Chains A and B, each alone.
Chain A
Amino acid sequence: MMRDCPDGSMRDQLPLWVHGALSASDAAAVAAHVATCDDCAREAELLRRVAAALPEPAIDAGRIAAAIPTAREVRGRATRRLRWRMAAAASFLLVASVSMLTLRGIPRDGESSVTDGVLVRAEPAMPMVVATESVPVSLDATAGATLPGFSGVGELSDAQLRVLLADLQHVEALPSAEPDVEHHGFVNDTTQENE
C-alpha cells in the first residue's frame, strides 16, 4: 500500500523534480530526500508512470500552422473592427442628436425654439411651420391643418400628411459635393491637355 510522506512540501516538489522543472539546488535537495524516503521514491515512480502513460495524440502541426493568420491580417482586422465601432458610435450619436433636436424643436403653445437657426414660435390656431435651412414648408388652412396643441407627426391626419409630403417634394435637394466633370467639360479639357 502506498503511503504519504509526512513532509508535505517535499511531496509538493516531486512532480516538478520528476519533470526537471526545479532549480539545481532544489533538485539536489529533493534527490537527497528521495534517496532516504521510500514513500517519496514510490510516489516519484508513480508520477513517472503517469506522465509516460498519458497519451500525446498525433496532430498535424503543419495544418495548424497553415491556419494561423499573418500579423498583417490580424492588424487589418483590428483596424476594420475599430473603424466599424467608430462608425457605429458616430451613427448612434447622430441619431441621438437628431432625436433630441426633433423632440426639442417641436414647439408647444406659447413656447419658442430654434431649429437650424430659424426661430419658430407656436401660436394657437396658427398654421404649423416646418422650418428648414432653405425652404419653409407650411400646412395651410385648406387642408384643415390648424394644429393647436400639436406635439408630433403622429397626430397629423391623412390629408395633412399628404399636403406635407407634397410640399416636401418641392424642397430642393442639397447640391452634390462632387461636381459632375463630364457636364462641365473637364474631361474634354483634360484630354486636350494630354494631347
Chain B
Amino acid sequence: MHRPTKQDDAAVDAALIERWKQGDQRAATEIVSRHAGALARFAASSGERDGIDELVQDTFVRAFNALDAFRSDSSLRTWLFTILHRLALDRRRAERRRGPSVELEEGHAVQGYDALDALVAEETETRVLTAVAKLSPLQRDVFVLRVTEGMAYADIAKAVGSTEGACRVHYHNAMRQVKEFLDDA
C-alpha cells in the first residue's frame, strides 16, 4: 500500500488551504479531519486531561485566522502542533495563576494516568503509559512527537520551541528512562 510521503501531505494541505481561501468551507472540514486526531493525541499525551476538544478547536480557529502567516517552510501539521503547544502552555500558566499548580510534574502525571488503569486492559500498556507520564513535560512532548508522529527533530524543535540538538538529547534521555522504568517494574 502506498503510504503518503511528506511531500504528498504538504501538497494536499496546500490545495485544501487554497480551496478554503477561495471560499470552500468543506476544505476546512477536511483539514480538521486530517489533523485533529493527531493534535488530540499529542494534547492527551502531554498531560492535558480536560478540555482537549476545546484546545484542539482553539488551535484550528487560531490557525485559520492566521493562515496568511503560514509559511510552507514547515508542514501544516508541525505548525498546528506549534500553536497547540503554545496554547497548552498558556492554559497551564493561566491555571497556575488562578489556583494551585496543575503543571504535570512526575507525581501528577502518574496520578493522571492512574485514572486510565481501569480502562486499559493490558498491564503492559499501563506500565508504558506510566513510564511516559513520568518524563518531564518537555521530554514527554519530544518523545511523543517522535514516536507517534515520526517527526524529524527539526520539526519537533519548531513545535516545542527548542533546538534540534536539544530535542535529540531529550528523545534519547526519555527512551533511556522509559527502558529503565520498564526494567524496574
A interface with B by C-beta (< 8 Å) = 1-2, 4, 8, 11-12, 15-16, 18-21, 43, 46-47, 49-57, 59-65, 67-72, 74, 77-78
Complex formed: what's the CA distance from A70 to B57 in Å?
15
Categorize the interface residue count of chain B. Answer: 35 or more
A55-B45, A71-B22, A74-B64 given; A49·B125 CB < 8 A: yes
B146 and A15: CB pair below 8 A? yes
Most buried by A among B20, B150, B179: B150
Q: Kindly report which residue of chain A lies nearest to residue B64, judged by CB atoms.
A: A68
Is B182 engaged at the interface, CB distance under 8 Å to the other chain?
A: yes
B125 and A68: CB pair below 8 A? no
Chain B, 124-148, CB within 8 A of any chain A CB:
124-125, 128-129, 132, 144, 146-148
A50-B132, A70-B23 given; A64·B57 CB < 8 A: yes
Is B32 engaged at the interface, CB distance under 8 Å to the other chain?
A: yes
Q: Kindly report which residue of chain B lies nearest to residue A77, judged by CB atoms.
A: B65
B interface with A by C-beta (< 8 Å) = 3, 6, 20-23, 25, 28-29, 32-33, 36-37, 40-41, 43-45, 52-53, 56-57, 60-61, 64-65, 67-68, 116, 120, 124-125, 128-129, 132, 144, 146-152, 168, 171-172, 175-176, 178-179, 182-183
A54-B45, A70-B23 given; A46·B178 CB < 8 A: yes
A64 and B129: CB pair below 8 A? no
Complex formed: what's the CA distance from A182 to B135 in Å?
78
Complex formed: what's the CA distance from A16 to B152 in Å?
8
Complex formed: what's the CA distance from A68 to B24 in Å?
12
Chain A interface SS verdict (over half): helix
Complex formed: what's the CA distance from A2 to B25 in Å?
50
A49 and B124: CB pair below 8 A? yes
B144 and A56: CB pair below 8 A? no
A59 and B40: CB pair below 8 A? yes
Q: Which of A2, A59, A63 contacts B183 (CB 8 A)?
A: A2
Q: Which of B33, B146, B148 contacts A61 (CB 8 A)?
A: B33
Q: Kindly report which residue of chain A lies nearest to residue B184, judged by CB atoms.
A: A1
Most buried by B among A21, A55, A64: A64
A53 and B57: CB pair below 8 A? no
A16-B150, A55-B45, A65-B32 given; A49·B57 CB < 8 A: no
Complex formed: what's the CA distance from A64 to B53 in Å?
8
B60 and A57: CB pair below 8 A? no
* CB neighbours of A77 from chain B (8 A): 65
* CB neighbours of A19 from chain B (8 A): 147-150
In whole Å, how far is B169's beta carbon from the nearest beta carbon of chain A? 11
Q: Kindly report which residue of chain B lies nearest to residue A58, judged by CB atoms.
A: B40
In whole Å, how far is B35's beta carbon from the nearest beta carbon of chain A? 10
B150 and A70: CB pair below 8 A? no
In whole Å, how far is B45's beta carbon from the nearest beta carbon of chain A? 5
Q: Kindly report which residue of chain A lies nearest to residue B151, judged by CB atoms.
A: A21
* CB neighbours of B67 from chain A (8 A): 74
B29 and A4: CB pair below 8 A? no
Complex formed: what's the CA distance from A21 to B51 in Å?
30
Complex formed: what's the CA distance from A16 to B5 in Å?
12
